A and B are shown apart, each in its own frame.
Chain A
Amino acid sequence: EAQVTQNPRYLITVTGKKLTVTCSQNMNHEYMSWYRQDPGLGLRQIYYSMNVEVTDKGDVPEGYKVSRKEKRNFPLILESPSPNQTSLYFCASSLTGGANVLTFGAGSRLTVL
């Protein structure tokens, strides 16, 4: 089944404790992206990747890092999480080139205490 898989789905952590949210897709998609969803703000893009080793900032990149060493994986790294990063995170992927439909993962709900 074609899908985007995120882990963990739920995580409670404390300020400053590094964490990684993994994202993997099995559709051979070139484009991958991370969004965060907050009440009243909708979804906002954190980082994106056009292909392997090509990543760039989205609209809200502060406090996050990403890497794209393999086509299928696009982990989101929080080096020193803070409470304002408490949010619902979605990974998404698509065939690149525009006018393509993003396929979303199931979401990862992160709470930073």
Chain B
Amino acid sequence: AQSVSQHNHHVILSEAASLELGCNYSYGGTVNLFWYVQYPGQHLQLLLKYFSGDPLVKGIKGFEAEFIKSKFSFNLRKPSVQWSDTAEYFCAVNGGWSYNTDKLIFGTGTRLQVFP
């Protein structure tokens, strides 16, 4: 079965530190990849997405992610985090399903805490 793994469950950083959150998926076909963010008490918002083309994608708020097909990975990065980045981050994959076309399979999430 398809799955998404986020190995970092809880990350604690100081402001200005660099961030990298890991995401690996298990699916051999064409994939569309997403990172969503959930700020405390809020709904999920799209950070960035990869459908095709340049494997390095840039999203909102200075986030970027790199798709490495050979490693089945889509890691999220930010060079310098801010206190306002405190949130839960979810990696998700859409496998180009022929039915239930827009289903996303989510990872278990990574809680990021940034201290001033």
Contacts and interface: CB of A to CB of B under 8 A. Distances in A.
Bound pair (A, B) = yes
Interface of A: 31, 33, 35, 40-45, 48, 50, 56, 58, 90, 94, 96-102, 104-107
A106 B42 CA distance: 6
B101 A50 contact: yes
6 A-B pairs with the lowest CB-CB distances in the bound complex, closest first = A98-B101, A42-B106, A43-B106, A42-B108, A104-B44, A106-B43
B101 A31 contact: yes
23 contacts: A33-B102, A35-B106, A40-B108, A42-B108, A43-B106, A44-B106, A48-B100, A48-B102, A50-B101, A56-B99, A58-B100, A96-B102, A98-B97, A98-B101, A99-B94, A100-B101, A100-B102, A101-B34, A101-B46, A101-B49, A102-B104, A104-B45, A107-B43
Interface residues of B, number: 27
A96 B102 CA distance: 6
Given A99-B96, A101-B49, A104-B45, 8 more contacts: A31-B102, A42-B108, A48-B100, A50-B99, A50-B100, A56-B100, A99-B32, A102-B104
B69 interface: no
Contacts of A35: 106
Interface in B62-116: 90, 92, 94, 96-97, 99-104, 106-109
Contacts of B4: 42
A57 to B, nearest CB: 9
A94 B102 contact: yes
Contacts of B100: 48, 50, 56, 58
A90 B44 contact: yes
B102 A98 contact: yes
Given A40-B108, A101-B34, A105-B43, A96 B101 contact: yes
Given A105-B43, A106-B42, A98 B94 contact: yes
Contacts of A94: 102
A98 B96 CA distance: 6
A42 B90 contact: yes
